[in-house]
Every structure is written in C-alpha cells, then in structure tokens.
Structure 1
Amino acid sequence: MREKIKIFKVLAVLIVFSICFYYFKEAKEVFYFSDIVSPYFSLGFLIISALLLGVVANELGLPSLTGYLIAGMVFGPQVFNFINNSDIKTLELINSIALSFIAISAGGELKLESLKKNVKPIGYITVIQSIFVLAGIFVIFYSLGRAGFLIKNMNSTSLLFFSIFLGVIAVAKSPASTIAIINEYKAKGTFTDIVLGITMIKDVVVLLMFSVAFAFARNAISGVELSAKFFLSIFSHIFISGVAGVIFGFLMIVFFKYVAKEIGIFVVLASFISYKFASIVGLENMFMCMVAGFVVQNFSKQGSVLIDAIEGSHLPVYVIFFSIAGAGLDFSSLKSYWVIVLLFVVLRLILIYWTTYFGAAVSKTVESVKKYAWTGFITNAGLTLSMVILIDKEFKDFGSILKAIVISVIAVNQIIGPILFKIGIEKSGEATKLNQ
C-alpha cells in the first residue's frame, strides 16, 4: 500500500512539474523579458522545478539535494537552456549569499565539546588523507605523463605542477553539500561530528596547500621570485579571515541577545553582509562564516537560536544554491577527457576510502567512522572551482586542460557525492529523519 502511495505521489508531482514546464515555455515565447528581469523569471521557474524534483528524488530514496542539482542540469545551459550562462552570472550574488548562509550553518553545527572529544580521529584522518591523497594522485598522473599515457605534449615542469595541482584538488571537498545532507537527514552523533570537523579544517589545509603549490609553480614556470613575505601573507590572510569571523560571530551574538527579532531574515542579511565585506577586503568568506557560526554556537547561549533560525529558513536557500549549482555543471569536456576524468574520480574514491579508514583505525575511533566517513568527502565545488580558475589564468601551458578536466570531475562528484553520503549517514545509524 505504501509503495502505491509513493508511486501516485511521484506521478502527481511529475504532472504538476509538466504543467509548470509547459506554461514557462509558453511565457518565454509570448512575453518579452529584459536582460534584467529574465534571470529572475528563470530562477523562479528553477526554484519550483527544483522543489518538485526534490520531492521526487526523496520519494525514490535519494537526497532532495540530488533533485535540486538535476533540475539545474536539465533546465540549465547543458539541456533546455531555460537558464543560460548569462543568467547564471547575473545570479552569482544570490548564490554567494546562499553559500555564506550554508557556511554559517556548518560552523553553527560544530560544537567545541565534540571537537575536543574527537580531536584524535579528526587530526589523524585530516593529516593522513591530505598527505596520501595528494601524493597518490600526484605519483599516478605524473608517472602516466612521463610514460606518455593520457597526458601528452606537456614539458616536464608543466607536467610536474599539473600533477601536483591535481593532487591538491583531490584533497578538496564541498562543505555546502556535506552540511545540506546532514541537515536534511538531521544527522547527529560521533560520525557526523567527525565528518563536520574534518570538513571545516580541510578548507584551511587545502587553501594552504594550494597557495604553496601556486607560489612554487609561478617561480618555476613564470620566474616569479619566492619570498618569505609571500608565505607570511598566505598565513596572515587566513589568520585575518579567522579573526574577522570571530568579530562577525560576536556581532551576531549581540543581535540575538538584544534584538532577537526576525532571526531567519537576519541570518540571510548577515550572509549578504559577510559576502560583501569579504569581497571588498579580500578575505576567505567561507572560512570567515564558518568561524562566525562556530563562535555563536560555542561562546554564547545563542547557539540554539542560530540553529533554529537556520532550520526554519534553510530549505529555500538550499534549493536556490544547489539548483543554480546544477545549472552551472558542465559535462562538455567529458567527451575529450573522459578517460582522465574517470581515472581521477575512481582513484580519488579509492584513496579517500583507504586514508579515511586508516586514519580512523589509527585513532581507534568508532567503527562507523572507519567504514563510512569517506562518503562525506566526495563532493568538491566552490573552492575547487576558484583554484582552477586561478590556475587557468596564470599557467597557459596546462591551465586550460586542468580546468576542463576538473570541471567535469566536479560535475560527476556533485552527482555521486550526496548519494554516497546519504548512504553513509544511514549506515552509521545517525540519520534521525529517513524516507518514510
């Protein structure tokens, strides 16, 4: 009986979706929309479509996030082009605000008590994963290039840094996807705390690894001189972002304590302010927002207020962010580089699995972390994309090839990552909200 109800529910949603699709198409053909209005009209349709496909995905036992991503892919530039590349660029501000909101949420979910309790597994897994995933990907792709397989027509210096950058990118992950799945399934427990802790710390680790690799590559290829001042600027940049996050967090505490009205709207507004401030000053917005959420949760009595506000308003934020992210996924390079992309995705999965298992075993943490924590480290998006854009601009010998490969990798991982992590959370026994 339950299965029949599920089938009817899916069919009903698909019928409503088809009606929306038909009338949106008609409206686009009948009415003229200016370049200013068109992106927001398209976004409105995308939100409705994503919500409906999220329901379908959920009924089929998949994360709602998968439905949001699929809606973006289907109606984005790759298929129907209802929301085109120009629209996506116009909507960057909304997307960035949503990302700031998710980062505050990630910090707010992380409790100092759980960090202290799980410091060994978080530390061991982060270090082991970062070193051996980078080393493994580097050795394999550098060796293939030297042997003349897959990577051709690249001089030895370019091949060296191409492989190093691939290794750094393999370590990176997407905090947004992780926190979205955790929130959807209301996951709580040791497994969830450890995955969240590693997710937060790895953002800083990857940023440092990339900055150092980028500096050495510029010195070797472009002849830019290395200096102690440059490396000091890297550390100070991250440190100042962290300090800004602490200040931002305490300002949020003041609002929660003395104003305490329209909290959900305030968190969205705070996300906008943090994004604009970080853009103007040149700070790491994701890290700053995570620190701010962490401060509110752990250094005040307002942590529950923040989490309640996020839980009350996260649905539209996730729908907007992941549907636009889906529209921005680009599979066009798969045709040219599918072998490299497939090899990278598979090798990365294997390396993440074994390094996570080994780190968890060495730290003697719970069995669920050893077996399933690796599923929380598959997706990679925002920071990864920022890195390859910088590489493409700076290194003409291999930048465009690396960018094409990594964009396809991101697209693949954004599809498989949330599904694997949903399975991991369920297997760990920490999902308190499951599909009925």
Structure 2
Amino acid sequence: MGSFLIGDAGVVEVAADAAAMLSHGESIVATSLGQAEPIHIATTVGLLLASSLLAGLASEMLRLPKVTAYLIAGLLLGPSVFDVIPHEHHQFLEPLTKLAMALVLFYLGTLFPFDQMRRIRKKAIPLSAGEMFFTALFVTVGIYLLGMSPAQSALLGTLAIATAPATTMFVLRETNAEGPVTSLTGTLVTLNNLVAVVAFELVWLGIELATASDAQSLSVGATLMRLVRSLGGAFSLGLIGGLVMSYACEIMHTRRWLVLLVGMASLLLGLSESWSLPYMLVFLVVGVVVVNSSSGTQKITAQLDSIGGLLTVVFFSVHGSELDLSLLADVGVIGAGYVVLRSVGKVFGIWVVASRTGASPEIRTWLGPALLAQAGVAISLSATATSRNPDIAGHVQTIVLGTVVVFEIFGPLLTRAAVLRSGEMPIANSIHHTFGTPLSALRNVFTRLAGSAGLLNKKTALSERMRVEQVMRRSVEGIAENADFNEVVHFVEHSHDNTFPVVDDDRCVVGLIRFDLLNQAFFDPTSDHLVRAGDLATPPDLLLYPSQPVRAAVDLFRQTSDDCVAVVTDEAPHRLIATVRRSDLTSLLIRDRKAGLGGSESSE
C-alpha cells in the first residue's frame, strides 16, 4: 500500500492502490481501449454451475459418471479450450474446494469404526500394503530408468500411492454400489491417502538427509522437527476437533447440526492452513474420532450431504477448469511412463496379494482398476515439495499436473466399470436414466397428457420390459448351512438386509433366515454352539429367477415384508447368484413414473 502524500500525487497513488485491491477481490480492473472487461467472480461461479448442470444431463444420455462430466465442463471453460475462467478466480474458490475435499475425507474417516478396523486387518491391510508397495516400487524404479534423479523418482513413487478420495467416493455413491469391492475401495482409498501423507514427509526427510552437508545438519534437524510437528499436530487437532464435534452434537438439537458441522469444518480447515498442518490427515482423524465417539454418525453425515452435492459440483468443475492439456505434451515420455507404471502397479499389486490370500475373483480383477483416479492429494503434496525445493520437485509437479488429466478423466470410468463388472451395481443403474433426449422428453409430456385424458393407451410399464437380471445385485454371500450361531450373528451384523439366504456346499438355497425370527434366539445363551444356520432357516418360499420380468419381483414384494429376495439360477440346481432389494426396485419404479413411462405402476 502506498504512503499517504499531500497533494494530487498522493491522492492518485492511494486511489490506484484502492483500485488494485478491488480488482484483486472482484476482478474489476481498469481497462484500456480495445481490452475486454474481466468477468466478475460471481459470473464465474454461475458459469461453472450452469455448465456442470448441462454436463450432468449429458452424462445421463451418454451413460458417463457425473464426475467425468463435471470435470469436462470445467475443462471446456479452462485454459485448454475456451479460457473464460480468469486464473486469479481459482484463488478465491480454493477455500470452497478445500472444504469439499475436507468433508469427503471426513466421510472416509467415518468408515473406520474400531470394530471394523479390527475386522479388516486380515483382508484390507494386506491388499493395501501390496498395492502400495508395488505401485511405489514400479514407479520409482521405472521413472529412474527413464532418466530422472533418484530423489525425483522416489517422490513420484510416493505420490503415486495417493488415490483421489473425492472422485472415487462420489462415483461409488452415485452408482449406489455395495459389496466387497466397493467396501474395500473405500477402505483402501483412506489407507492410501493416509500413508501417502506420512510417507511423503518421511521420503522428503530422507532426501534432505541424503543431500545435506555438515553445514546443513541444523536444517535436517529442523526438518525432522517439522515432520513430528506436522504429523503430531494433525493427529492432535483431528482428535480434539472430533471430540468437540461429537460432544456438541450430543447437547444440540439436530436442527443446529448443519451450522455446527460446517462451522467446525471451516474452523479446522483454517487452523490447519494457518499452522501448516496437512488438513487431509486432520479430517481423516476427525472422521475416525466421530464415528467411534458419537451415537449419531449417520445423522451427521446426512446433514453434511445436504450441502455436499453443491460443494461436489463446485469442486469438480473448478478442478476441471484448472486442468491444462498442454502439460500433457510437456511431460512427454516420463509422464506416459508414470501413467502406465502407476496403473500397472496398483492392478498388479492387488492381483498378487488377492491371489495369495484367496480373495474372490471379483476383488482380484476389479479392485485395482477402481483405485486409479488421482488428483487433490497428489497435487497438494507435489505443490508442498515444490515450495520447499523447486529444483528437485519442480519437474515432479509438472508430471503430476499433466498426468492428472488422464487419471481424472479415465479414473471415474474405470471405478464405475469395476463395481458394475463385479456385480455390485445393478445393471439398471447404468442403463436406465431419468433424462432422455429433448425429443423424448417432449414426447413424454404429451403422452402423459393424452393418457390422462384417455386419448391414448399408456405405454408398457418398465416392470414388464425389464428383467430381474437387470435389477439384481450379484455381490451376495449366503450363510453356510452348517454355520454356528455366532457365525450367523457375525454375518447379520455386517449386512444391510433383514433376510439372509442359507446355502449348502453347492450354493443351492436351502432356507431363509429372517431377522425378526433370529432376534428371538438372541436370548437363549445355550444356542451359541448348538444351533446351526440350517436350524434357524425357514423354507425358501420366496425366490426369483434372472429371466423373470421385474413385475414378478414387484408382486413378490407385495407378499412379504422382506427387504430383499434371493435370485437363483434358472437351471437346476438352483444356485444362489444375487439378490433383489426392495429399495432398488422402488427407486427404479419411481424414476420410471417420473419419466412418464410407468403410469400403470401407480399402485406401487
């Protein structure tokens, strides 16, 4: 800011400084003749939201993940195509994008109650360790052989571990996927980013130790202290923030939770930035603390969902507008090598460990591809490294920024394909959409009008056109017929259903266990080792076949209060292959009715 001077010159200088401040905040700058006037930041937000809305509608027709659509919408507005978003606006939108990322990491932390962490030790931790080890190894060695220095190769190997949490989790929630691959994907994403943050600091410490001279020993010691302060401070702040959040939710009415949660998240984010703590680690810890100290974790995440949708759109559209396709040419062969080596490392690492631990073919084949998206965490860590030593990390940051374009465009597609191919996403979610072409939408309006007036016969209901195989979930595990009571209880505790098929050694359904009947056996202390699953099961009177029309499932659910029905093969022996959920069927019929094609389903 210029000094205040007596006379016209002082007035001019002060006025110029004031105008510069206003320009910095609102992009309203003095323009000369022939120079276009910059757009206001509110216009930028409006353009990003409007383009994302149109891209979301287009994704319905093209059957793309909405994440990819939002990224492409931002990409079109960014420097690579139309270049209508001023670069300085990203600085003012950064708090919103970081808040969105923070809430995603908080949600990931809530997936780790202590009892679940004890359960995942035998399955998730070996898979995560193998995937991270091979990814870091392949990238570090491969990039070194392509000509980069050992320090740069080690940094890229560490950054390759990170998986984009916001991108991956948004795709999983959008597809309504559920099953072993989906569950392990969320767990491994959390572990990946947690290890990436810690490993980055350790690798950087190693780089400084390797390059330090005697005169620099003090700076190495300072680096070690910074590491302890950064990680310890993040864990401490997350612990305190999580406890405060849980306690405040206990004493406040739920109507005030949204303000509380957003305020706490903003405060923790601000403190993390002010104290130079890794906010990603802070919010992971907050989520873990909240899920283990609060009785209302689901209500808390539901409250955040009310603003999460808007923040998600802003996050991905802004992130897309920052992508620069020209960087793809700059990274060259090393960038291409990084993409291939990171992808192979994750897929191969999962395949090796899953093969040795006896994991299912779906996990062995599809868990690796579900983890390929990469963005925010890697970008943030590479920027941190560049600020510490541009000579070592400058080229590393360029490679990360260039390859993010590939991982963020194709990563969501692979995640979606993984849960679909593994049978954890109903096929109907990928082929049935609420939005058709503009012509079909107009036709639906007049069809409904004419049908209501009795001038036209209503169209064939969706429940007659679709088959059970298009709405069933293939990721299903039955209870073994000879399982004891404790094994049955363990299965029930980790299921979202209230009806559980019992299968023999050939996976043929021999009975059904219903929760309301099972609940009566909880009070018999002698049943733990004497009672078997087959003793608790009732005859399998309600079953579906893949070739049946969805109408058969609708009629079947009218006869029972079960929330799911087992699906068995059409041919004998009728083996268990999937389940149909009442909630999936109801959602499908509601979407059909909204689209104007399910008039005959009004009773549903």
Q: TM-score range by the shorter chain?
A: 0.7 to 0.9
Q: Which moved more, 1:65-74 or 1:383-392?
A: 383-392
Classify 1:417/1:249 alpha carbon distance in 2 versus 1 (closer, same or farther; 3 Å). same
> What is the total number of aligned residue pairs between the two structures?
393
Classify 1:118/1:133 alpha carbon distance in 2 versus 1 (closer, same or farther; 3 Å). same
Q: Which moved more, 1:416-425 or 1:358-367?
A: 358-367
Letter in 1 for 2:429: L
Larger radius of gyration: 2
**How far apart, CA to CA, are the structure 2 residues paired with 1:190 and 1:351?**
21
Secondary structure of 2:367's aligned partner: helix
**Aligned pair 1:403/2:393, yes or no?**
no
Letter in 2 for 1:303: T
Q: 1:103 deviation in Å?
A: 1.5
**How far apart, CA to CA, are the structure 1 residues paired with 2:79 and 2:261?**
31
Give the alignment's TM-score, normalised by structure 1. 0.83
Identity of aligned residues (%): 22
Q: Which moved more, 1:407-416 or 1:421-430?
A: 421-430
Letter in 2 for 1:350: V
Q: Which moved more, 1:130-139 or 1:224-233?
A: 224-233
Secondary structure of 1:283's aligned partner: coil
**How far apart, CA to CA, are the structure 1 residues paired with 2:421 and 2:243?**
37
Q: 1:124 deviation in Å?
A: 0.9
- Structure showing the higher strand proportion among its residues: 2
Secondary structure of 2:266's aligned partner: helix
Q: Deviations over 1:270-307 (max 9, x none)?
A: 32122112112332211211222232223321111022
Classify 1:115/1:195 alpha carbon distance in 2 versus 1 (closer, same or farther; 3 Å). farther
**How far apart, CA to CA, are the structure 1 residues paired with 2:265 and 2:62?**
33
| 8 Å CA contact 1:115, 1:193 repeated in 2 | no
Q: Which moved more, 1:416-425 or 1:235-244?
A: 235-244
Q: 1:417 deviation in Å?
A: 0.8
Q: 1:352 deviation in Å?
A: 0.8
Partner of 2:357: 363
**Aligned pair 1:244/2:237, yes or no?**
yes
Q: Which moved more, 1:68-77 or 1:395-404?
A: 395-404
Partner of 2:71: 69
**How far apart, CA to CA, are the structure 2 residues paired with 1:263 and 1:366?**
41
Q: Deviations over 1:214-263 (max 9, x none)?
A: 12222334543276774465245323322322221222223333221143
| 8 Å CA contact 2:74, 2:317 repeated in 1 | yes
1:170 to 147, 160, 163: 160
1:194 to 173, 184, 191: 184
1:54 to 44, 53, 56: 56
| 8 Å CA contact 2:133, 2:349 repeated in 1 | no
Letter in 2 for 1:362: R
Partner of 1:95: 97
Q: Which moved more, 1:70-79 or 1:251-260?
A: 251-260
Bigger relative contact order (CA 8 A; separation at least 6): 1
Partner of 2:145: 143
Partner of 1:296: 290
| 8 Å CA contact 2:100, 2:308 repeated in 1 | no
| 8 Å CA contact 1:120, 1:363 repeated in 2 | no
Letter in 1 for 2:349: T
**How far apart, CA to CA, are the structure 2 residues paired with 1:188 and 1:242?**
30
Q: Which moved more, 1:205-214 or 1:410-419?
A: 205-214
Classify 1:355/1:178 alpha carbon distance in 2 versus 1 (closer, same or farther; 3 Å). same
Secondary structure of 1:101's aligned partner: helix
Secondary structure of 1:68's aligned partner: helix
Classify 1:143/1:183 alpha carbon distance in 2 versus 1 (closer, same or farther; 3 Å). same
Q: Which moved more, 1:293-302 or 1:326-335?
A: 293-302
Partner of 1:329: 323
| 8 Å CA contact 1:39, 1:88 repeated in 2 | no
**How far apart, CA to CA, are the structure 2 residues paired with 1:420 and 1:204?**
23
**How far apart, CA to CA, are the structure 1 residues paired with 2:122 and 2:209?**
36
Q: 1:431 deviation in Å?
A: 3.0
1:269 to 258, 263, 272: 263
Partner of 2:205: 215
Letter in 1 for 2:198: L
Q: Which moved more, 1:172-181 or 1:230-239?
A: 230-239
**How far apart, CA to CA, are the structure 1 residues paired with 2:83 and 2:231?**
38
Letter in 1 for 2:167: S
| 8 Å CA contact 1:134, 1:171 repeated in 2 | yes
| 8 Å CA contact 1:114, 1:193 repeated in 2 | no
- Structure showing the higher helix proportion among its residues: 1
Classify 1:184/1:111 alpha carbon distance in 2 versus 1 (closer, same or farther; 3 Å). farther
| 8 Å CA contact 2:197, 2:281 repeated in 1 | no
5+ residue gaps, structure 2: 1-25, 30-37, 433-604
Letter in 2 for 1:419: L
Runs of 4+ in 1 over 4 A off after TM superposition: 226-230
Letter in 1 for 2:87: N
| 8 Å CA contact 1:101, 1:267 repeated in 2 | no
Q: 1:108 deviation in Å?
A: 2.5
5+ residue gaps, structure 1: 1-31, 146-150, 152-158
Secondary structure of 2:123's aligned partner: helix
| 8 Å CA contact 2:96, 2:311 repeated in 1 | no
**Aligned pair 1:122/2:117, yes or no?**
no
Secondary structure of 2:368's aligned partner: helix
Secondary structure of 1:333's aligned partner: helix
| 8 Å CA contact 1:53, 1:67 repeated in 2 | yes
Q: 1:312 deviation in Å?
A: 3.0
**How far apart, CA to CA, are the structure 2 residues paired with 1:396 and 1:288?**
26
**How far apart, CA to CA, are the structure 1 residues paired with 2:208 and 2:27?**
45
**Aligned pair 1:343/2:333, yes or no?**
no
Partner of 1:255: 248
**Aligned pair 1:434/2:429, yes or no?**
yes
Secondary structure of 2:176's aligned partner: coil
Q: 1:112 deviation in Å?
A: 3.8
Q: 1:47 deviation in Å?
A: 0.9
Classify 1:222/1:79 alpha carbon distance in 2 versus 1 (closer, same or farther; 3 Å). farther
Q: 1:398 deviation in Å?
A: 4.3
Letter in 1 for 2:187: G
Letter in 1 for 2:210: A
CA RMSD of aligned residues (A): 2.4
Secondary structure of 1:120's aligned partner: coil
Give the alignment's TM-score, normalised by structure 2. 0.61
Classify 1:269/1:55 alpha carbon distance in 2 versus 1 (closer, same or farther; 3 Å). farther
Q: Deviations over 1:377-402 (max 9, x none)?
A: 21222221122223334444443322
**How far apart, CA to CA, are the structure 2 residues paired with 1:365 and 1:418?**
24
| 8 Å CA contact 2:136, 2:345 repeated in 1 | no
Classify 1:126/1:97 alpha carbon distance in 2 versus 1 (closer, same or farther; 3 Å). same
